[in-house]
Amino acid sequence: MQPPKRALQFLRWFCREDCIEEIEGDLNEMFRKNCQTSPRTAGWKFTWRVLRYFRPEFMKPFNNYQSNALGMYKSYFSIGWRNVIRNRGYSLINAGGLAIGMMVAIFIGLWVYDELSFNKYHRNYESIGQVWSFHSDPATSIVDGDKSMQYPVGATLRNNYGQYFKHVLMAWWPGNHTVAVDDKVMLKNGLFVEPGALEMLSLNMIRGSYKSLDEPHSVVLSRSTAEVFFGDEDPINKTVRLNGRMDAVVTGVYEDIPRNSNFGETQFFAPWDLWLSVNEWARRQEADWDNHPINIYVQLQPNVSMEEVNAAMKELYRKNMPADFYKTQERFDPFVQIIPMSTWHLYGNVENGKPAGGRITYVWLFAVVGVFVLVLACINFVNLSTARSEKRSKEVGVRKVVGSRKGQLIAQFLTESLVVVVVSFLFAMIMVGSLLPWFNRLTDKDTTLPLFNPVFWAMSLAFIVLTAMLAGVYPAFYLSSFQPVKVLKGVFRSGHFAALPRKVLVVVQFTTSVILIIGTIVVYQQIQFARNRPVGYQRSSLITVHVSDPAFQNKLDVIRNELRGSGVVAALTASSGPLTAIWNTTNGYEWKGKDPNMDASFAICNITTDFGETVGWEIVAGRDFSKEISTDSTEAIILNEAAVEYMGLKDPVGQEFTDVNEFGQKKWTRTIIGVVKNMVMESPYEPVRQTLYFYNPKVFLGLMHIRIDPNASAADALTKIKSVFNKNVPMAGFDYTFVDEEYARKFAQEERIGVLAGIFSSLAIFICCLGLFGLASYVAEQRTKEIGIRKVMGASVAKLWQLLSKDFMILVIIACLVACPLGYYLMTTWLLDYDYRTEVSLWVFVLTVIGAVLVTLLTVSFHAIRAALANPVKSLRSE
Amino acid sequence: MAQQILGEFEELVLLMVAAMHDEAYGVSILEGLEKELKKPLNISAIHVALKRMEDKGFVKSRFGGITEDRGGRRKKFYTVTALGKRMLDGQYALRSGLYKRIPKISFS
């Protein structure tokens, strides 16, 4: 008779080793005795007794029975480290590639984080929005919108929709204003806005409070601005003069708003009433539903959603516009919508009244690129470790024979990859730290490494573990799956297919890099294409000076004469809008043959004498305005080519052009006297807008354009011009821009993307080549004997070189074949965003493929040729 | 020494080990005690006591040979150490000393 099996199993499972002998023996003996006396209950008694032993004294220790687990982990690390040190070359390739990959990933991570946290500095950012007005074109039913609002909308929102809003703030456009304290005059970006702005934007007030703007003659400065003007003095209650005619008292100072906010450049906030006090015309707009001069910011009540308000305001115009006026507007179906602050930056393109894409595309694009570059670096690691597995197969065999479990081996190899990853991470951090200022300049950002942020470290840790896993999992499983018998007998050969995953990974690497390179070239081509676009005027050595300050009004003649006499000015003129933007659009014109449904909206520019001569526009038909012909200012108009096309005129010169008011009554009629070549004033990627030029020699226009004499040096000319302005109007700052610089700024975003893409794709191809270099050296080492024998048999160096390079070349060519169509597809899709775009031409692909093949050949050849040149005696002698 | 405490049950087991001299192992101690005390005991209690006393140094153990009726497990024999013996002597002296001081009167 045997004691119950289950009970015995249980006892053996929990009982500690040093007691089991005695206990099991005694229990067995008692069981025998019981069997003789009462066999029926013996089993139960045995079980009961076993259960009585289930107490801590007899149990196995809980922390498993490996008392030297710590030693084991220590050994993992020391073996890992020794492996790193012993194979210096490979380790360097591994760690270097990984470090570069990680650096790229960290940089991109910082950039993406900065982009995603845009505007989040403002605590209420989810409930803040800006009111836009929209209308649809009856002919095309395309909905178009703008943030410029009619003055009465502010009061309407406040009175009729007040329950939805915590703040409704009318504001002027953010822009540069002259700020003067005593004789210090500077241009500072500022916002004239109603007092709630400080609270709405949750500014961090160092001095003063959120009520600081309540008094009309007050101003609140950013800390840096206060320091510039007042140094260490207390700025509070000091007087500041804005734009030379608004006196205000400093009532508060706020901590500078970080750059990644739409208000990041705003250096002061001043009350809306202060602005109104010197802009009398604006007050007269209080009932004008036609003109759109101002901005309106809102903050919603806490429990109100944007959709709710937008739905409620859909009928705002119909209900609140004067009925007869609304009738004239009805066919445009005007409506207002709030565009939430959370979309201002990343979803800046507003389509059909809704935010739709924008920068977010680039954020995604770069995030994907970052992940890819990191994956490329991980692939290097995987390839080198598996390729070198034969070297370590003996170690694995011995470890298994001695008793390592598979799990332990996996842990060991993962630890090794962790060691390499940690080292690379340290390198990457050092590189990021030292290259950050350069990166910030490149991307025009203010990012810092958040070294004291626990979240950052937690993410870094996760990042390290993830990379270690990504890079180490496949080698770990591959290496630990060797069968010890085979490995130790020496018949282990990583068969024909063992190299297949490796080859696939190399193809993936090169495909990615080739796509990145194609992308970079196409981005550069597109920029170059837009740069070479004829702009229709001469933009070099042309400066624009802002003279909108009323202080200029009576001095302009004097300034003009002095400038002309200074000897450095070739020509000068003035206009209502700049050459690099359109400030004014209007609609409602009539001409012969006009489609009655047409919206007839035009960009408008008022110009004075010598405009054509100064900016160098080209008249393609008719004539320029002339100061000799007095009727030019009242009866003449010049169009650009886009306008002629838009209006569908065959022979425009001499035709009549009529302005009608909203009720269809004629306001004036002018004759088209000339047509100018299109001038690119807005985005160089978009078609030129139809533009009307009016001749206004007598009217005061806010922008003066000065062409510097080509024989004078720019610096010298600028000093002289500046002195003329400062002498005549000392209270206003000399606010000027070079037109060519302003124009170049339109390329800034694409250029930045081009530079970043260029850097990232060079790094990607570098990482790939690093991996290939490692693989090539390994293959050469593997085949040393073979090469030696071939050489002895009479193979030439060229043949051997071909033998060693061929395999890699095939992989790269396959990669190119995959990458070209993919790259073509991706880049044509990207280009669709641009109206004025280049074609993706064949030579891009040819060039990229040739480049990739050449680079690979160079990388691989180093080792191939070295192996081929080696003396066969040396390689064959040792066995 | 503070930890050199001998519990009541431990004292009984120790006495049994001493009395059986070199023939004391789990089952024999259990049977001896059951016979003396005239009540059933659990073997695990004996083992706990033995283990604790071995840790305290009152008993020492050795393994005997393999016997068939123990399922191939060896017996673990216990003997009293000098320290154990001193402890028993002390307990005995304490008890008999106290006993002798009981006045010779009748207890109702």
With CB atoms and an 8 Å threshold, state whether B42 touches A57.
Answer: no
CB contact under 8 A, B43 and A26: yes
ipTM of the complex in this document: 0.88
CA-to-CA separations, A358 to A134, A428, A687, A833, in angstroms, rounded: 19, 31, 19, 10
Q: What pLDDT does residue A822 have?
A: 93
| Sequence letter at residue A707 | R
Contact B75 A28 (CB under 8 A): no
Interface test with A, best of B30, B73, B75, B77 (most A CBs within 10 A): B73
Mean pLDDT per 10-residue interval, chain A, length 879 residues:
85 85 87 86 88 84 62 79 82 86 90 89 90 82 84 90 90 87 85 91 90 89 91 89 86 90 91 87 81 90 89 87 84 87 85 78 87 86 76 82 83 85 91 91 83 85 85 81 79 64 87 89 87 84 82 80 85 86 80 78 86 87 85 87 87 86 79 89 85 83 86 85 84 80 83 85 87 83 84 87 87 92 91 85 90 88 84 77
Helix (H, G, I), strand (E, B) or coil at A628: coil
Say whether A3 and B71 touch across the interface (CB within 8 A). yes
Q: Do A785 and A868 meet the contact criterion of CB atoms below 8 Å apart? A: no
* Pair A813, A853: CB distance under 8 Å: yes
Contacts of B22 (CB under 8 A, 6+ apart): B77, B79
Distance from the B52 Cα atom to the nearest Cα atom in chain A, whole angstroms = 9
Q: How much is the pTM? A: 0.72
B75 touches chain A (CB under 8 A): yes
Which residues are within 8 A (CB) of A338 and not within 5 positions of it... i.e. 6 or more apart? A129, A130, A131, A132, A298, A300, A306, A309, A310, A313
Give the number of A-B residue pairs with CB atoms closer than 8 Å.
57
Distance (Å, whole) CA A860 – CA A800: 12
Q: Which residues lie across from B59 on neighbouring strands?
A: B80
Task: Encode A370-432 in three state secondary structure.
Answer: HHHHHHHHHHHHHHHHHHCHHHHHHHHHHHHHHCCCHHHHHHHHHHHHHHHHHHHHHHHHHHH
Q: Which residues of A touch B70 (CB under 8 A)?
A: 25-26, 28-29
pLDDT of residue A497: 65
Please report the pLDDT score of residue B2 as a whole number: 42
Q: Which residues contact A561 (CB under 8 A, 6 or more apart)?
A: none
**Cross-chain residue pair A19–B44, CB shorter than 8 Å:** no
Is the pLDDT at B91 greater than 70? The verdict is yes
Q: Name the residue among A107, A266, A106, A274 with its Cα closest to residue A191.
A: A266
Residue A693 has, within 13 A of its CA and on its CB side, a CA count of: 30
pLDDT of residue A879: 57
Whole-angstrom distance, CA of residue A640 vs CA of residue A646: 10
Q: Chain A residues within 8 A (CB-CB) of chain B?
A: 3, 19, 21-30, 32-33, 49, 52-53, 55, 57-58
- pLDDT for B1 equals 43
For residue B6, give how far its alpha carbon lies from the nearest alpha carbon of chain A (Å): 18
Q: Which residues are paired to A705 by β-bridges?
A: A544, A573
